[in-house]
Every structure is written in C-alpha cells, then in structure tokens.
Amino acid sequence: MAIYVLENTVQHYAWGSNDALPALLGKENPSGEPWAELWMGAHPRAPSVAVDPSTGARKPLDALIAAAPGATIGADVARRFGGELPFLFKLLSAARPLSVQAHPSKRKAEHGFAREESKGIPIDAAERNYKDPNHKPETVVALTSFEGLCGFRLIEAIVDATRLLAPDDWERLIGRLAVDPCKLELSSFIYMIMSIDGEHKARRLSYARSRSERIVADEPRGSGRSRLFSWVLRLMDEYPNDIGALAPLALNLFELSPGEAINLPPGEPHAYLRGTAAEIMANSDNVLRGGLTSKHVDIPEFISTLGFDSAIIEPLEPTLGDDGFYAYPCGVPDYSLSRAEVSGTLTFGGRPETPEILLCVDGEVSLEAGSGASIELPRGASAFVCADERAYAVSGSGAIYRAGVPV
C-alpha cells in the first residue's frame, strides 16, 4: 500500500486564528474566517483524503483502511482497535480561549454512550455528550508560545486565590475546603461555583471583576498573581456572564515554549487559551464542557468526569531514539508522538507493522518509501505511511512530527 499524500479538513471554529494556520499551511484566507484546527486521520466526521503519489488516485483514509486494514494499519493494530486508526492528529491555533472541558475515561465513555443511545438522543444533537464509546487522552506540543489551563491547583492555592475575589457569603464553603482539603470538599466547592446562576452569578462576577482589576493594578507586571488575574479579566471580556471565567482560580496556568509538550489524561479539566500547537489524541469526539462556550454545557456530567487530583504541570521530557527522533512519553496505547530536525537523510528500515502520519512544520523534506514511491513535504504538508511499508527515508532540511501507534 506504500505511502500517501494527505489532504486534510480545516475546522472553522469561532475561537480559531485567521492567519496562523493559513501561514503554516501556505494557504490564502481571503474571507478572513477563523482556521481553528486541521484534522489528519480517519475520523468519520472529517477523514483525510489519501492521494496515491504515483497515480493521483484519491480515497478517504477511513475507506482505504476499511478496505485493507492489515496492509494499512497492520494486523495487530487492527485487532486491538477494531480495524480503525486509533488516533487523530491535529494542528490547532487559538486566537480566543477554548471552553473549559474534560474527556471521559474508556469506562465512562462506554456507559455514557450506551445511556444516550438507549434514550434515542441523535448522535448529532446539540445536547449529546457522548458521540462514541471511546476515551480521549490527549498530548499537545507547542509550535509557538502556547498558554492554557490544565489540572487542579493545590487546594491551598485555590483557597487563597478565591478568598481574594469571593464575597463574604462564600467564606463558609471556602473555609470548609481550607479545613478539610480533600477531593470530596473540592468537588463540592467546584460544583457550587459552577452552578451559580441568575442575579447571584451576575453579582459575584461583578465583584470578581472589580477585585481582579484592583489586583492587576497593584501587582508587579508579569508576576504570577498579575498574570492569573489578568486572564480572569480577559475571560470575562471574551465570555460575559460566564462563571467559567473564574477557572484560573482553580486550574494551573501553563505556558509552553515551542517543542514543549504536556499530556492531558481523561478526567483532567483544561482549556487552551492562545497559541498554535500540534495535538494528538485517541480517535474520539467526546467532550464534556463546563463553561467558556456557547455550545452545550452539562455541569453535573462534567463534574462527574473529573478526578479532582491536584497536579503540578511540567513539560514532558522527550528522549532521543536510535532513529533520530525525540519521543514524547505519551503513556497510552492509542498513539505515540515524536519529532525530528532533519538535516541530510534519516533512514528507517525494518520498522514495525504500524501506521504513521508524518507532518512537516518547518522547511521542506522528501519522503521516499522502500517500495520506490516518493513525496515532497513542504511546510504544513503531511503523509500517511502504511503498516506494510517496512522502510523509508526522510531527507532535506526541516522539522517533522511523527504520529504513530506504540508496538
């Protein structure tokens, strides 16, 4: 089956940048619409089109895999993942913050999907939480400076930050969390804040805005506290009357430099704030949203998905392999991710029978298969390497990412 050029779908979500992805892909955007994500893979919502470099023949990647799973993704991957490509690879660029969200575990996704199926909720209904029975761990690697929120802060930090903004009538619940800093009290605290509605919500957000403005004015510019409350104010501006704007009080604010990455396991609350990144995930579309969005929000289901473990966010440490790629420790069976700086030629022989997607993010490289086919990959271009292609070489000068499946 050899190798294929991929033609990929752009998703025009409202939070996307109108210039970062077009520039990366070498495309024009005369309409100025947002280009939020580029999907590379075989997800049924937007499968890539595989183009044979020798004949020009075109076929959706999911159909190509379904017709010959053993040759395209390998017998072992086909057996383990039901004959499907188990990952979805993306480019994303956020000009506006994304929703506060989390993704379910495999067990929760299976139960949630079965429950909504039994209720007859259409798969494309706005109120549908579970689009498939799969989990959705993710790994994101920055291509530019990339900021976001991820995982709960230490409970002491949550209490201290909330006390700076909260009206006196919150003190009882904050005090309970301070006295008994456990998961149960944290879940009760988060549920209480996210469930505030009506005039109570408007009053508390107004108070939080005035306090945040005062803190930002008084704190040294660039300090941790100034940065945190500046994001509270920006989220209030972007999403008026949305209690999700207080998310920086509870979640870790992180910033990745190009090449740095973090893992987002199931049950980890997160929100991307701004920047451009590559992202790989299990092949699922299950998203539970808690705020900062006009889409469906289900607070009880969102809360039930969370693990409520405090987390200290540290970038992953990639390790250099014998093949010249730096591999990120993704820690899941569904996907692997690695990167390489190509200067000359990298040769891969005797590779395992697994599928790969190669993405060039800088410069230009050539992909030559052992079977003789070749593909030019300029910046922003991608290719699918079939499992039965046991050898290939990459040459030129550029930076590439490789998405695959662990053996």
Q: State percent of the chain over pLDDT 70.
A: 100
CA proximity to 367, closest of 384, 388, 350: 384
pLDDT tens for residues 322-337? 889 999 999 999 999 9
Band (pLDDT 50/70/90 cuts) for residue 168 is confident
pLDDT tens for residues 123-162? 989 999 999 999 999 999 999 999 999 999 999 999 999 9
Band (pLDDT 50/70/90 cuts) for residue 375 is very high
Q: What is the pLDDT of residue 257?
A: 97
Instruction: Output the pTM of the full model.
Output: 0.94
pLDDT tens for residues 82-94? 999 999 999 999 9
Q: What is the pLDDT of residue 329?
A: 97
d(CA 78, CA 126): 32
List the catalytic residue out of 128, 204, 274, 289: 289
d(CA 54, CA 3): 10
Which residues in 52-185 belong to E strands, given as ranges?
58-60, 87-94, 100-102, 138-142, 146-152
Could you tell me the domains of the chain? 9-149+256-294 (2.60.120.10), 153-250 (1.10.441.10), 319-404 (2.60.120.10)
Residue with tokens 């704030």: 273
Q: What is the mean pLDDT of the chain?
A: 94
Residue bearing the bigger pLDDT, 181 or 383:
383
Cα separation values, 332 from 61, 114, 186, 208, Å: 23, 24, 28, 39
Q: What is the pLDDT of residue 395?
A: 96
Catalytic residue list contains 289:
yes
Band (pLDDT 50/70/90 cuts) for residue 1 is low
Q: What is the pLDDT of residue 371?
A: 83
pLDDT tens for residues 233-281? 999 999 999 999 999 999 999 999 999 999 999 999 999 999 999 999 9
Residue bearing the bigger pLDDT, 45 or 332:
332
What average pLDDT does this structure show over 368-390? 94
